[in-house]
Amino acid sequence: MILKDKFKFVIEYFEENMPVAESELNFDNPYQLIVAVILSAQCTDKRVNMTTPAFFERFPDAESLSLATIDEIYTLIKSISYPNNKAKNLSGMAKKLVSDFDGVVPDNVEELQTLPGVGRKTANVVASVAFNKPAMAVDTHVFRVSARIGLTKNAKNPLETERQLVKYFPENLIPKAHHWLILHGRYVCKARKPDCDKCGINNICEYFLTKVKNS
């Protein structure tokens, strides 16, 4: 199967079987999303969602967060992985939002990446989820799943994966495709024990077909 047809098959499968694909982080606005995404690095969405209600009650916007001490922020996120670094990043992010963007989260990847604690993956998530921009965020799930299926070829890093995926996914589907791959990786194509027998696309998956061939 040529690559173009493989993407077509994957799109048709997920459109039918996962028509609604959204972030599992709880948020009400772009500010809350960027905070949640920063907190979610190497941490589960479930844990983040347990932490953010009290955080947003104390710091409802960038202005209030920018005035907080790092110790105040740390106290509210100490159950999250790497709370020291994340507290510093959240403080810096809020201060820059206020000083450079009037407290408003920018809607493009380039400006988002100027914020402390916001790398390309986080910027792509915010641009895609909050603003429906055609930005493909590549986390560990997207990187693993796209390589296993064979949607990407010899991608050595997230940026190479991103470039290959956006080449074949239609622009209007990129925000949804990002979640298709994440959720598929989270619940089916798991890192250690992928549930290949339960996977609806195993008939075009290079990982599964190789496994069957070698069994």
Q: pLDDT tens track of the chain, all 215 residues?
A: 789 999 999 999 999 999 999 999 999 999 999 999 999 988 899 999 999 999 999 999 999 999 999 999 999 999 999 999 999 999 999 999 999 999 999 999 999 999 999 999 999 999 999 999 999 999 999 999 999 999 999 999 999 999 999 999 999 999 999 999 999 999 999 999 999 999 999 999 999 988 766 76
Report yes or no: 16 and 87 within 8 Å, Cβ to Cβ: no
Which of 133, 139, 176, 213 is the catalytic position? Answer: 139
- How far apart CA 204 and CA 73 sit, in angstroms, is 47
Structure tokens at 184: 């598929």
Main-chain dihedrals φ then ψ at residue 73, nearest 5 degrees = -65, -45
Angle, helices 120-131 vs 174-187, to 10°: value is: 110
139 carries an active-site annotation: yes
190 carries an active-site annotation: no
Which of 6, 121, 133, 193 is the catalytic position? Answer: 121
